[in-house]
Amino acid sequence: MAAQPKKKISRVRGRTRRAHNKIVLPKLSNCPKCRALIPPHIACPECGFYGSKKILITKTDKHIDQKLKEEKKTASKPKPSPKPAKDTKSQESQDSSLRAGDPKGPEATSPPAGGRDTKENKK
Ligand SMILES: [Zn+2]
């Protein structure tokens, strides 16, 4: 026999108890660098920044590294091409990787300060 309740718990009592059983939304804030929604006090998983410092190596960074390695391999295979041509190719690849890795970087640097200012002004 399982344990039995000594007294009936009234409708109100049970419902009052269950009133606190609810799902709470996680408190998220915008990353100041890339504007992604992240929990506070953690390094951003999207761009790898905590505050103004780059801390994490993100998945996108890894993808970029892989692409660079592949490009280097492909560039190293055709040896007969002259040296200056190789240099220009490597520079182009670096430029494209920078653009791909940090598309919102220059835009995101200025807005956060402005947003904070506006909030303070509203108060
Ligand atoms: Zn971020």
DSSP of 41-100, one letter per residue?
A: TS--TTT-EETTEE----HHHHHHHHHHHHHHHHHHS--SS-HHHHHHHHHHHHHHHHHH
| Mean pLDDT, the chain, integer | 75
Distance between CA atoms of residues 37 and 81, nearest Å: 47
Amino acid at 123: K
How confident is the model over 78-91, as a mean pLDDT?
58
Q: Which residue has the tokens 């690849």?
A: 93
Output the CA 72–ligand 1 centroid distance in Å. Answer: 28
Helix axes 59-76, 83-101, angle to 10 degrees: 170
Question: 33 alpha carbon to ligand 1 midpoint, in Å?
Answer: 5
pLDDT higher for 59 or 10? 10
C-alpha 78/C-alpha 65 separation (Å) is 21
Residue 54 Cα to ligand 1 middle (Å): 10
Average pLDDT over residues 57-68: 84
pLDDT score, position 6: 95
> What average pLDDT score do residues 67-90 get?
69
**pLDDT value at 22 more than 90:** yes
pLDDT band for position 8 (cuts 50, 70, 90): very high
pTM of the full structure:
0.39
Comparing 18-22, 91-95, 118-122, which segment has the lowest mean pLDDT? Answer: 118-122
Q: Is residue 43 over pLDDT 60?
A: yes
Q: Please tell me the distance between residue 111's alpha carbon and the centre of ligand 1 in angstroms.
A: 13
Higher-confidence position of 84 and 25: 25
* Ligand 1 center from residue 118 Cα (angstroms): 21
Strand 49-50 with 37-38, pairing: unpaired
Q: What is the mean pLDDT of residues 23-35?
A: 90
Query: What pLDDT is attached to residue 91?
Result: 54
